[in-house]
Structure 1
Amino acid sequence: MLVYGLKSCDTCRKALKSLPEASFVDVRDKGVPAEVVGRAIADFGHELVNKRSTTWRNLSEEDRAADVATLIASHPTVMKRPLIVNGDQMHLGWSDEVRAALGVG
């Protein structure tokens, strides 16, 4: 299981604490592989972009108009977090639904 997020993100820290077997990838340091972004876009579409983030608010209109893959490649911190890859399943965020799907309280 891989958790993509930011080491400074409280929600990502909560997810990692509940998923001790997961490996963590800090998107600020390593980015998100294009194949993972592609799968996530197929699953979540524009929900993958966190429009409440500071990164999003600081983007120009031109940057905001880019397609999701380009936007995340250029600004990985604009991705909603955490993105959890568990085999062939992907989960976005740390909602009650995601925790239930992963079998954690």
Structure 2
Amino acid sequence: MTTSSTPSAREPGAEVQIQFEGHRYAGVRGQTVAGILLGNGVRAWRTTSAGERPRGAFCGIGVCFDCLVTVDGQRDVRACLRRPEGGELVTRQHDLLPGRQGEDADNDC
């Protein structure tokens, strides 16, 4: 079995599942984590460092960092690029900005 280097490429017929916030979500092998979440109605899986605003896919091509998640303990994974093999545990990633712990930040990053 060969897998295309294109993150959006699908391999028809092979279902994969990921776990996110206590739910299992199914997708097709070759879909990205972001594709599986979006395909199942999940629109946000990260919050901003300041203001805790919801974020999900923005550029969809790995240029920005709006879709960062943790996959099986590995931080800073771009959900729009990672194609799961199946069974991965995906968790939200939220970090406070340095020097802002406990502050009420109005600016968004």
TM-score, structure 1 as length reference? 0.29
Rg larger in 1 or in 2?
A: 2
Higher relative contact order (CA 8 A, sep 6+): 1
Give 1 or 2: higher strand fraction.
2
Give 1 or 2: higher helix fraction.
1
